[in-house]
Amino acid sequence: ERKKTDESKCIKCLSLPLSLSLSFSSDLQAQSVSPPESVRLVDGAGLCSGRVEVKSNQSWASVCEADFDRQDAEVVCGELGCGAPAALQGGLYGEGEGQTWDKEFQCKGKESLLLDCDTSDRENNTCLPGNAVGLTCSEPDDVRLVGGGSRCAGGVERYDQGEWRTVGAEDWDQEDVAAVVCRQLGCGSTVSVLPGNTTRGFGVSCYGSESSLRKCSKIYDLLPGLTVICSDLLVQPDISLTDSMGGVSRGHQGPEVFRGYSFTITCSTQPQYPGGSFLVTFTGSNRTQTQPAVNHSAAFVFPAADDSHQGNYRCVYDNYVFSHDFSSESELLSLTITGN
């Protein structure tokens, strides 16, 4: 829900041309009379995943798997501003503590609100444990960043009326717009906002707390485009273990290396940006090794394995891009040293 007493937004309203101020204030009025929240996804990773709960008599009720199908899920995902349903399963996000919804939804998939759908009385009034329906919607894919070498950097575009269009914002609004874009794309937080190319785009104005750009106000004036750099710029690097002496085997707990044999840990990443360096960290010790990235990879050779090499290894890729330092960590590689 928008905060209608946000002082910074009041300042923004005053600095808008009259026509834009009118459109902005009418948008706020529309927000204030919007219907109250009637469906939510809880205990998931974010707005677009969780256990389905419907508001009933001022309290929330979970929904039984037997009463909810994919067409119902399409309506819920759309109502929440998310993408298409990706997973639908009973018990996926645990059990609700309160009551269970007592009707079966019969959506056609095109309704804008779940409570607009037809319902019918449930044949069986019990919902067995483990059957509270969980739903994962895909994240909205109507926003992208282009031309920055990463899905988390570039000029902001939004899919609108069948085509990708440049998004623009006033100078004082660009930080808020950028925060929403990084959040919607799952790209972390904003690192910097740069002037976009000379293209002007359809304007938006955000508070900065919205979950997606579609929840921001749309301003029907062409405004300067913007380039956004988000914190999760670098993709996750890969870590792998190889050897030239046949000393590596696959054990129950992961790779094993025979004592006295050499092994090599290789760090690699997708070719996003030139340069950068790889750091190998070793759990339980402050021992680290660093090498420059050559062709987006680096090999760390350990000439003779001994018990001190047993533990967890991780590759960290560092690079200086867009005048900022970025880093990304691989998954852990757990290594066991064994007798030959």
Number of compact structural domains in the chain: 3
Instruction: Give the type of residue at 312.
Output: N
Instruction: Give the type of residue at 32.
Output: S
The H or E element containing residue 174 is helix 174-184
pLDDT at position 22 is: 29
**What does the alpha-carbon distance between residue 41 and residue 55 come to, in Å, rounded to a whole number?**
11
Q: Which of 110, 137, 164 is where one domain is finished? A: 137
**What does the alpha-carbon distance between residue 3 and residue 9 come to, in Å, rounded to a whole number?**
9
Q: Which of 137, 167, 191 is where one domain is finished? A: 137
Is residue 242 domain-resident? yes
Domain CATH code at residue 222: 3.10.250.10
C-alpha distance from residue 95 to each of 46, 64, 76 (Å)? 17, 10, 19
pLDDT at position 340 is: 60
pLDDT at position 249 is: 80
Low-confidence ranges of the chain (pLDDT < 70): 1-36, 123-125, 139-141, 161-162, 197-198, 284, 340
Q: Are residues 224 and 243 in the same domain?
A: no
C-alpha distance from residue 124 to each of 6, 67, 105, 127 (Å)? 49, 10, 14, 8
pLDDT at position 248 is: 81
Is residue 257 domain-resident? yes
Query: Percentage of residues in the chain with pLDDT exceeding 90?
Result: 41
Domain that holds residue 75: 39-137
Contact between 131 and 66 (Cβ < 8 Å): yes
Pull the structure tokens for residue 250: 């696959």
Pull the structure tokens for residue 207: 């508070």
pLDDT at position 67 is: 87
C-alpha distance from residue 139 to each of 73, 74, 80, 89, 206 (Å)? 14, 13, 10, 18, 19
